[in-house]
Chains A and B, each alone.
Chain A
């Protein structure tokens, strides 16, 4: 069955994070614990959001999953394979788009293909497909400087998705965008994810963004980082802005907020 085949190819991979810590050595030789032992099991195709205040180590955790930061202890398995270097099935979207200004939109999206030494021409139709999915059909030959901030971040998402990653890591991807653009990006991301059905780890500061997008929200406490709450968001999909008016939606937000209140990140008023 070809259709089943494509689905399995595009669906997500499992991620197991076991007793992972991060300890930095400071300049004066002291040790600084950025992350206390973290244990997370993420099922294939699950959308997990991690919410936490600045400096709680959530980006550090993501860097370790991406294979670009060394793990101090414990281990991370992606698709049953221990992470020692960047895993080929992983795509990363950062807070800023990090597009190369001397490359066109298409050439930026094809960068991971080039780096992996694959045929560019074999992926061109996929690039077109992705661009039309994010509403940028016909923008392939433009340069990043000709695009708005929101469009550039859409291109960055296409770049992460071009290699059909089983796991998509997003580090506050909409943090640098204006509120209105962010609103639309959240909805579009949900649509794309529903089509691709890959695993996503999404880091954010926004409680609302996390509840709207995720199957599961992990709440992290301030340094040293630790998972304080693992909340399953069982709202139907596709979710729309109207879902925000639901008591259940509000309830989830309150639960997350209360964690931050007890940790002193937010006050009670």
Chain B
């Protein structure tokens, strides 16, 4: 092969790589736009009324005009979600540490946790109203209880994944259990803990909204119920969009924290 040929070949490969990269990064936005456009035009095509299926543009318009109303209710849902999630993170991680360090605690608590997990917790919502009233508490508790279990499990799995020779290594250096925990066990478990937190935050949003469905005077779930009862499908969809946005944004926020706290194996490659 001549040098000119080799040069051409190299350019061709580089071009191929660039094209592939651009296609990959455009794939998701293209799909979303396609789905939205299909939705936008499907109502006219199928001859549906606005009560059945509002278009994306109508929903967007409604969000813009009713932003104050949506913001007030969003704030309620966000506070419920975050309170439940923070509670679930703190108590969940603490439970996991106790399970990891105490065999007795594990034997006693683990079966109970699993049994609790099999109870459809959403079905607890009406009871929670009975015990905790109509206000903030039952929603927060529902968010907590949904997020709690995945956080506990992920943390326990992360802590247990550590190889015992790794522990022997730091012990041979004279490390106390305290040092072993902070220098080795915790950093090693962090990726798994964050996995649990990310599952937990999505579930916490669901918990808060379901709590609002059952009995509430504020919040996006309540707003949705109100809208549906008045056949205001557009507002119901608008609330749904905001709920999704809350879920996505909190998830992203956690991912940003994760990138700051957890060393990415891939980042070094």
B166-203 to A contact mask, C-beta < 8 Å, 1/0: 10111111110001000110010000000000000000
Say whether B46 faces chain A, with CB atoms less than 8 Å apart: no
Q: Are B174 and A92 in contact (CB under 8 A)?
A: no
Contact of A116 among B168, B171, B173, B184 (CB under 8 A): B173
- The residues of B that contact A63 with a CB separation of less than 8 Å are 168
Say whether A240 faces chain B, with CB atoms less than 8 Å apart: no
- The residues of A that contact B187 with a CB separation of less than 8 Å are 100, 102
Q: Are B169 and A146 in contact (CB under 8 A)?
A: no
Contact of B173 among A112, A143, A146 (CB under 8 A): A112
Contact of B183 among A67, A98, A111, A145 (CB under 8 A): A111
A63, A88, A112 — most chain B CB neighbours (10 Å): A112
State in angstroms the CA–CA spacing of A112 and B265 once bound together. 23
- The residues of A that contact B268 with a CB separation of less than 8 Å are 142-143, 145-146
Which of the four size classes fits the interface of chain B? 10 to 19
Q: Are A146 and B172 in contact (CB under 8 A)?
A: no
A54-69 to B contact mask, C-beta < 8 Å, 1/0: 0000000001001110
Say whether B44 faces chain A, with CB atoms less than 8 Å apart: no
Shortest Cβ distance from A257 into chain B, in angstroms? Answer: 30
Q: Are A68 and B269 in contact (CB under 8 A)?
A: no
- The residues of B that contact A67 with a CB separation of less than 8 Å are 172
- The residues of B that contact A142 with a CB separation of less than 8 Å are 268
Q: Are A68 and B263 in contact (CB under 8 A)?
A: no
Q: Are B169 and A92 in contact (CB under 8 A)?
A: yes
- Determine the residue in chain A with the shortest Cβ distance to B167: A68
State in angstroms the CA–CA spacing of A143 and B263 once bound together. 10
Given known contacts A98-B166, A101-B265, A143-B268, A92 and B172 CB-to-CB distance under 8 angstroms: yes
A67, A90, A111 — most chain B CB neighbours (10 Å): A111
Contact of B269 among A86, A88, A114, A146 (CB under 8 A): A146
Q: Are B175 and A115 in contact (CB under 8 A)?
A: yes
- The residues of A that contact B175 with a CB separation of less than 8 Å are 115
Shortest Cβ distance from A156 into chain B, in angstroms? Answer: 9
Q: Are A145 and B170 in contact (CB under 8 A)?
A: no
Say whether B165 faces chain A, with CB atoms less than 8 Å apart: yes
Give chain A's interface residues, CB within 8 Å of chain B: 63, 66-68, 85-86, 88, 90, 92, 94, 96, 98, 100-102, 111-112, 114-116, 142-143, 145-146, 163
8 pairs, CB–CB < 8 Å, chain A vs chain B: A63-B168, A68-B172, A85-B174, A86-B171, A90-B172, A94-B165, A98-B169, A145-B269
